[in-house]
Amino acid sequence: MVATYVYPRDPVVRAAGDYLHWGVIQLSLANLIIILAMIAIFVLALLLPFPGGRNDTAEHRDQISEKAQLSEKARISEKAQSDDAG
């Protein structure tokens, strides 16, 4: 299927807007432009970095690693205490 552009001859009908017809789909040109702009903004929102950027320094990674190790040690010690109590 190929989208076709319909150009009405009646000036009253033409003032209502230009339409694209693609099979059973009829879409005004203004709505198509808005839809394409919304899709472009959505894609940009996915691809562009979040304001403020990432804190991906080696020091930050080390801090996260230390926190993970401490939380794992705490979980193991809590499990050991509950096993001793039971």
The answer to pTM > 0.75 is no
Residue range 7-41, pLDDT digits in tens: 666 665 556 678 888 889 899 999 999 999 999 99
Q: 25-28 and 19-22 as β-strands: parallel, antiparallel, unpaired?
A: antiparallel
Domain range annotation of the chain: 4-47, 55-86
Residue range 25-83, pLDDT digits in tens: 899 999 999 999 999 999 999 998 777 666 666 666 777 777 777 777 777 777 777 77
Which positions ≥6 away from 19 have C-beta within 8 Å? 6, 26, 27, 28, 29
Q: Provide the pLDDT for residue 64.
A: 74
